[in-house]
Amino acid sequence: MLIEVEDDFRSSSDKAYEKIFDMILTGQLKPGEKLIRRKLAEKTGVSTIPVMEALLRLEALGIVESIPYRGSRVVPITKEKVRDWYALREAIECQVMRIITRTLTEDEIADLEKLANKLDAMEQAGDTEGEEFWELHFEMHMIMARKTGHQSLIDSLHRINLFRLLQRAQYSATEHKNQIPKDNHHCLIDALRTRDPLIAEEVMREHIYHSDSMI
Amino acid sequence: MLIEVEDDFRSSSDKAYEKIFDMILTGQLKPGEKLIRRKLAEKTGVSTIPVMEALLRLEALGIVESIPYRGSRVVPITKEKVRDWYALREAIECQVMRIITRTLTEDEIADLEKLANKLDAMEQAGDTEGEEFWELHFEMHMIMARKTGHQSLIDSLHRINLFRLLQRAQYSATEHKNQIPKDNHHCLIDALRTRDPLIAEEVMREHIYHSDSMI
């Protein structure tokens, strides 16, 4: 499951949230598309109040936006918006590297290395289109964020990943496959092993710039 | 006004949002306090649906939280939570410095310098308890964030500032006044004038660590 839903008392709202979220990520609701409460209530099988709650929660995550006097729509993906999210991703992930390079144990680094190797192998095989690659990719970056112990960094990165899923629902990155270096993720592991926050941060920044150049 | 409310079609919800927000920031609703929809509807003069909308928006900002099967409460300020937000603040503001040190004009730096000098003078005079100091302080940091042109960084810093207002509603920082260096904010200006992203980032990090040590 790409979507993580918190335990919550709002069960109808949860149902609407998951269903609408899924429709957005699978492209059934397209970026820019207007979200009509009554129609969504019919599709999700709940009343309009939980639909409204769900839309507000999706708005808080940044994948739905409200337009004054117009209602809500799926956030349209513009090049500017993608660059904007990459600037935030750089801020968050560089901070993650700075923190964990001083605190990870050798065993924790070895665990991350397995994920890094698997990701690099999949990228080299051109096997990056399926859900497995994206789940693994987010898992590696989210594990690193969780190791900081800072919920604010974890939540921010989770939100960025959701936006990237939305982006993926619209664009394919296949045309850039040949530009990916063999150690695209392993270089992060090498950086962590230096135990130097400045080096760790710079290698992450390069890693992100590389993805950014693929937009 | 410390709270910025976006233009929106949800006018009753806006009214509830502003009123509840104000009650939290002025300490009429205390951190940890349970938020009862019916009571809040009475106090804000709207029905329970816009109150619910307002609570979801405050939840998205991180100053209200929902507890499974219990409802909502004002986020309690713990030392851990404060450190958590400082980790995010460091990520965002270091990124802001890295970006703007390469792009600001001399005139823009000179404008920031005026704010920095005013803040430093107020800190030296021990004049940091009133709303004026906090408005000026947020203004300087928000101007720097806006100069990046990245909405994601602006929104993140705005949210962090709201959390700091909430923290301020609970704690006073007066006992630390004598620890504040004379160039607490001016050193950021000197860093920007180097035009070196690494130096700019490091000076911001020091600036934040200094505040962090005052928690």
Q: pLDDT (tens digit, 9 = 90+) per residue, B114-145?
A: 999 999 999 999 888 888 898 999 999 999 99
Burial of A2 per CB tally in 10 Å (0-12, 13-18, 19+): middle
Tell me the C-alpha distance between B31 and B72, whole Å.
11
- The tokens of B142 are what? 């928000």
At the topology level of CATH, where does B79-212 sit? Four Helix Bundle (Hemerythrin (Met), subunit A) (1.20.120)
Residue A71 is inside which H or E element, if any? strand A71-74
Contacts of A196 in chain B (CB under 8 A): none
ipTM field: 0.83
Tell me the C-alpha distance between A119 and A140, whole Å.
9
| Amino acid A174: pLDDT | 45
Contacts of B92 in chain A (CB under 8 A): 88, 91
- pLDDT above 80: residue B175: no
pLDDT band for B8, please (50, 70, 90 cuts). Answer: very low
Contacts of B49 in chain A (CB under 8 A): 49
Closest-CA residue to A113 (of A165, A25, A183): A183
Residue A214 · residue A179 · CB < 8 Å: yes
- The tokens of B1 are what? 């006004």
Tell me the C-alpha distance between B39 and B21, whole Å.
15
Could you tell me how many CB contacts below 8 A there are between chain A and chain B?
A: 84
Residue A109 · residue A103 · CB < 8 Å: no
- pLDDT above 80: residue B196: yes
Q: Residue B153 and residue A87: Cβ atoms within 8 Å? A: yes
B contact set with A (CB within 8 A): 7-10, 49, 52-53, 56-57, 59-60, 66, 68-71, 83-85, 87-88, 90-92, 94-95, 99, 148, 150-153, 156
To 5 degrees, how large is the angle CA B31–CA B37–CA B39?
Answer: 85
pLDDT digits (tens, 9 = 90+) for A174-199: 445 557 889 999 999 999 999 999 99
Q: Which residue has the higher pLDDT, B212 or B189?
A: B189
- The tokens of A136 are what? 């693994």
Burial of A108 per CB tally in 10 Å (0-12, 13-18, 19+): middle
For residue B86, the distance in angstroms to the closest alpha carbon of chain A comes to 9
Q: Which residues of chain A have pLDDT under 70?
A: 1-10, 170-178, 212-215
Q: Which residue has the higher pLDDT, A7 or B165?
A: B165
| Amino acid B212: pLDDT | 62
For residue B60, give the chain A residue with the closest CA.
Answer: A60
Angle separating helix axes A197-212 and A79-103, nearest 10 degrees:
160
Q: CA torsion, points B15, B17, B23, B24, in degrees to nearest 10? A: -170
At the topology level of CATH, where does A11-74 sit? Arc Repressor Mutant, subunit A (1.10.10)
| Amino acid A13: pLDDT | 83
Contacts of A75 in chain B (CB under 8 A): none
Q: Where along chain B do its domains lie?
A: 11-74, 79-212
Instruction: Indicate the residue of B49, B57, B94 with minimum beta-carbon distance to A49.
Output: B49
| Amino acid B121: pLDDT | 95
Residue B66 is inside which H or E element, if any? strand B64-67
Question: What stretches of A7-122 adopt beta strand conformation (E)?
Answer: 34-35, 64-67, 71-74
Count CB-CB contacts under 10 A for residue B197: 17
According to DSSP, the residues that pair with A71 across neighbouring strands are A67
pLDDT digits (tens, 9 = 90+) for A115-130: 999 999 999 998 888 8
